[in-house]
Amino acid sequence: MNVDAKLVERLYRKLRYIRRVEEEITRIYPSDKIKSPVHLSIGQEAIAVGVCEALRADDVVAGSYRGHAAYLAKGGDLPAMMAELYGKVTGCARGKGGSMHLVDMSHHVLGMSAVVGTTIPVAVGYALAIKREGTGRVVVSFFGDGATEEGVFYESLNFAALHSLPILFVCENNRYAIHTPQTKRWASADLCGRVSGFGVPARQIPDMDVFAIHSAAQAAVDGLRSGTAGPQLIECICYRWYEHVGVTQDYTAGYRTREELSPWQEGDQVARLGALLEAPVRTRIDGEVDREIEAAVNFAEQSPTPTPDELYADVFAS
């Protein structure tokens, strides 16, 4: 494969970083030090990584409750994220939000939400604001397939198309919206066709190829930034390796089988890109990533818990 070596290195670092962060979360979670439910992106990292590689530092990202990957791929502060999971006052939401409510506006990561689909209209509103700024910034809204069943998704598509807003919608379609297969929820699997009905160009990436995702995102973002294109959507077919919420695998729960997992593990993008690097480069990156994660966990462990007066902070806008 003829790909830019520096791009491979950047993508691998982010993929490995997110994978190892979430593996560390699975290690810590049974201890009850992490004080919130967690929704893991293990197996889905290539979506956030491929898309965010196409963004500028001042572009804006909105995620869902399964938001670790989007937060980290956009450059969100890892020590603040880990402290938030621990419920510590040094967390990105001062220990009040947990895993499902990550935010880091210093890196233009909008606050995430535990309620399905609710960050989509917020992202659209932000896209309207930055269009009026005229600075060429763009917004990316990440959400799962379940969110496309919410009415606000279609209202947001219509509004974004009507006003030609600089927003890229990214559907992380793992086809299970908790425990119900897509075939039992959708009369037609053609999400891109439904979206196109609003005048929003849409394309599907079927296999988690991080280069294909990056290329599609780059083309979409370039169009949005130049003002030559309105909103667009990329549907990324993916597979959730772990349970919907939590840190175990649930292949005995009766709604899916372990055989479904095998082809996705064989196409794992972390391993794929690692194999494209020279061994010393890969070893160096792996060591740097592990040290950064260790420091973030130590920060969370040593940070103080919120005091009672924190209940009164940030309740009203000043």
pLDDT tens-place string over residues 71-92: 999 999 999 999 999 999 999 9
Q: What is the pTM of this model?
A: 0.96
Residue 298: what pLDDT? 98
Q: Is the pLDDT of residue 317 over 90?
A: no
Q: Is the pLDDT of residue 231 over 70?
A: yes
Three-class secondary structure of residue 53 per DSSP: coil
Give me the DSSP letters along 99-126: GGG--BGGGTBPPP-SSTTTHHHHHHHH
pLDDT tens-place string over residues 195-219: 999 999 999 999 999 999 999 999 9
Residue 249: what pLDDT? 94
Q: Is the pLDDT of residue 35 over 70?
A: yes
Q: 280-287: long-range contacts at Cβ-Cβ below 8 A with a sequence spacing of 24 or more? A: 281/9, 282/12, 285/9, 285/12, 285/13, 285/16, 286/16
Residue 318: what pLDDT? 77
pLDDT tens-place string over residues 170-184: 999 999 999 999 999
Which residue, 258, 269, 167, 155, is CA-closest to 212?
269
Residue-range domains of the chain with CATH: 5-312 (3.40.50.970)
Distance of alpha carbon 298 from alpha carbon 308, whole angstroms = 24
pLDDT averaged over every residue in the chain: 96
Three-class secondary structure of residue 168 per DSSP: strand
Q: Is the pLDDT of residue 130 over 60?
A: yes
Residue 66: what pLDDT? 97
Distance of alpha carbon 70 from alpha carbon 65, whole angstroms = 10
CA end-to-end distance (rounded Å), the chain: 54
Three-class secondary structure of residue 299 per DSSP: helix
Asked if 59 contacts 41 with a C-beta cutoff of 8 angstroms, the reply is: no
Q: Is the pLDDT of residue 228 over 90?
A: no
Residue 304: what pLDDT? 97
Asked if 154 contacts 177 with a C-beta cutoff of 8 angstroms, the reply is: no
Q: How confident is the model at residue 1 (pLDDT cuts 50, 70, 90)?
A: low
Residue 21, token pair as written in the block: 């962060």
How many Cα neighbours within 13 Å face the side chain of 265? 7
Q: How confident is the model at residue 315 (pLDDT cuts 50, 70, 90)?
A: confident
Describe the chain by its helix, strand, coil percentages, rounded to 5: 50, 10, 40
